[in-house]
Each structure stands twice: as structure tokens, then as C-alpha cells.
Amino acid sequence: MLYTPTPDTLYHPPPHHIDPLGYSRLAIITGCSSGIGLATTQLFLSHQFQVVGLDISPFDYNLLRVEDHGRFHFHLGDLTQPGQIEEGVRIAHHFGGRIDALVNVAGILDTFASADTLADTDWDRVLAVNLTVPVKMMRAVIPHLKQRPEGGVIVNVASTAGRSGAVAGVAYTASKHGLIGATKNVAWRFRHEGIRANAVLPGAVDSSVGHKIAQEKRVVDLEGYKSVQPVHALQATNPSTTSLETATPITALEVAKTILFLVSDQARTINGVELPVDRAWGVV
Ligand SMILES: NC(=O)c1ccc[n+]([C@@H]2O[C@H](COP(=O)([O-])OP(=O)(O)OC[C@H]3O[C@@H](n4cnc5c(N)ncnc54)[C@H](O)[C@@H]3O)[C@@H](O)[C@H]2O)c1
């Protein structure tokens, strides 16, 4: 069940691009060690950004081009722990002397539990990682973004579950709805101070996020899982296919490209949007 990684998620670093997109710009990317965060890190480095990656899991430098190592700094830590966010932002400012962009990717799935079966630990952890951490990351970074004469950018990775009540458990759904609300609030509040904040809403992505439930020995709520299955089966299936196994998954790199677009100057009038990356799944 959940999403089995295909060869497209082996994360070969993309080729370098000769464009000015990332020259002299520093981005902080949370959740950089795997999935969407890793693909975003690789893509930003390929466009010449300096990147400071923050993650609770170790980073495998073999997944970067050797020539990118000098523009990348990794900090290992659990961002839910006191002081870790401030330490990550302090390191980033020290590394680049500036912070131009924040991409909040780190996140965890819930156990698909519903309001009547929810464990306190599941609710607390999912809300802490998926909502409290990105909001506190924005709090820590906004003073730095305000200092950029050309403006600063925030992209928060939400989910189809940030709009729909029918694709995840109650904790994940609430956390991603909350993250979209926080994104819009930041967009409005700081629109005259050169800061843009947008959310991307991926559909089901080919990554290892689902496997982590098993690794962490969290028990999936089967009733809750069964209740969202018919909706998941609709994503990206074409009329000749009928099951999740034959659906075309969205890749982490495809989400990363959308994030790069929102960070780029091409998107300079886009502020406060919730942008689906889901091959029309979200219109159901
Ligand atoms: N995979 C999907 O189908 C999907 C769909 C929609 C949205 N998303 C969202 O995309 C984001 C990335 O998911 P992914 O699929 O790449 O998952 P992933 O598990 O591959 O990556 C998530 C990363 O976040 C890190 N992380 C988790 N808790 C952390 C903590 N407390 N402190 C620091 N780092 C922490 C993990 O170590 C991991 O490297 C998440 O916010 C997720 O909710 C994923």
C-alpha cells in the first residue's frame, strides 16, 4: 500500500543550468534528506542557489554533485525540539550572510486515524512537525527576508489534504489545512514588505513518506485508510487503468520544479496561493 518508489525517485541530481536564478541567493530547505525536500535541494543547487538543509535524518552527500558541495550546508536536528529552528536559521545566515528563501518541506503522515480513534501522540507529533515547525520557521526567517531589497520568498509544502477531508486522517488533514491558513496570513500581512508566501498542494507523490509509518512502528488505522482509498484511486488513473498500482505517480522532482517556479521572479505577482500539483486530482 502507500506509495512505492519508482526509478524516477532515485534522485539523480539534475544537470546544471546556466541561468541567474540562484546566483547569490540562499534558500533554507527543511526535510532535505529525502523525497520532495531532497529533489528541491538538488534542483536549487543545480540553479546555483546556496542551500542550507535541515533534517532529523542524516543527509547522503553522494546524492549531490561534487561541484555543489561548497554551496550546501546540512544541519542535523529535530525541528520540533527547542532551539533547533533558531539554530538552523542562525547557521544559514552565517553560511550565506543572507537568507532569500524558505522552503518548508519537512512533514510526516498520520496513521489515518479519525476523530474517534486518534491517539494523543499521533495528533501531537503530526501537528508539531507539519504545522508548528513551518510556522516557527517563518517566524525565525521573516526578519531576514525583510532585509532583502529584492524581496524574500516562502513556499510551504501542504497537500491535497489541506483542502480535502477525504484523503488522510484527521491529524494530517488538520495540519495541512492549518498550514495553508498560515501561508495566506503571512502573504497578506507582509505583502508590502517584499515577502511572498505560497503553498503547494501535491497529490500522492512517489516518496518514502508512507514507509516511515511502518519504520516508526505506528499502527495504521485500517478503517480510516479504507475510507480514503477510493479517493486515492482516482488520482492520475486514466480510463484504461483501475488500480493504484497502475496510476502514474507524481514525482518529487515535479513538485520541486513547481517550488522553484514560485521562488523565481517569474512568480513575483503570485502571493498567498494554494497551488495544486496533482494532475487535476484536487478538482474531484
Ligand atoms: N509523499 C506524498 O504523497 C505527499 C503528498 C502531499 C504532500 N506531501 C508533503 O510533502 C512533504 C515531504 O514529504 P515527502 O513525501 O518528501 O516525505 P519524506 O518522508 O521523503 O521526507 C520528509 C522529510 O522530513 C524530515 N522530517 C520529518 N520530521 C522532521 C523533524 N521533526 N525535523 C526535521 N526534519 C524532519 C524527514 O526526515 C524526511 O527527510 C511533507 O510535508 C508531506 O506532508 C507529501
Question: Which listed residue (3, 11, 136, 172) is catalytic?
Answer: 172
In this prediction, residue 235 carries a pLDDT of 80
Mean pLDDT of 175-194: 98
In this prediction, residue 128 carries a pLDDT of 98
Q: Is residue 244 over pLDDT 50? A: no
Higher pLDDT, 107 or 219: 107
The C-alpha angle 212, 217, 223, rounded to 5 degrees, equals 90
The C-alpha angle 73, 78, 82, rounded to 5 degrees, equals 110
User: For residue 249, with 0-12 CB atoms within 10 Å meaning exposed, 13-18 middle and 19 or more buried, which class applies?
Assistant: buried
Ligand 1 geometric centre to CA of 22 (Å): 24
How many angstroms separate the CA atoms of 40 and 86, rounded? 22
Domain architecture of the chain: domains with CATH = 17-220+251-276 (3.40.50.720)
Write down the pTM of the prediction. Answer: 0.93
| Residue 170 contacts residue 246 (beta carbons within 8 Å) | no
Q: Is residue 264 over pLDDT 80? A: yes
Mean pLDDT of 188-201: 98
For the chain, how far is it from start to end, CA to CA, in angstroms? 22
Q: Is 172 a catalytic residue?
A: yes
Ligand 1 geometric centre to CA of 274 (Å): 18
In this prediction, residue 6 carries a pLDDT of 43
| Residue 162 contacts residue 233 (beta carbons within 8 Å) | no
| Residue with grid cell 535541494, as numbered in its chain | 41
Tally the residues of the chain: 284
| Residue 59 contacts residue 53 (beta carbons within 8 Å) | yes
Q: pLDDT confidence of 237, banded at 50, 70, 90?
A: low
Closest CA relative to residue 106, chosen from 9, 34, 160, 181: 34
Q: Is residue 241 over pLDDT 60? A: no
Q: pLDDT confidence of 10, banded at 50, 70, 90?
A: very low
| Residue 259 contacts residue 150 (beta carbons within 8 Å) | no
Spell out the residues 6+ positions from residue 38 whose beta carbon is closer than 8 angstroms to its own: 11, 32, 63, 252
Closest CA relative to residue 105, chosen from 174, 48, 54, 50: 54
Question: Which listed residue (11, 176, 184, 225) is catalytic?
Answer: 176
Q: Is 23 a catalytic residue?
A: no
**pLDDT, the chain, mean:** 91
Ligand 1 interacting residues, C-beta cut-off 6 A? 3, 30-31, 33-37, 55-57, 78-80, 105-108, 129, 157, 159, 202, 204-205, 207-209, 212, 252
Ligand 1 geometric centre to CA of 11 (Å): 15
Q: Is residue 243 over pLDDT 70? A: no
In this prediction, residue 214 carries a pLDDT of 75
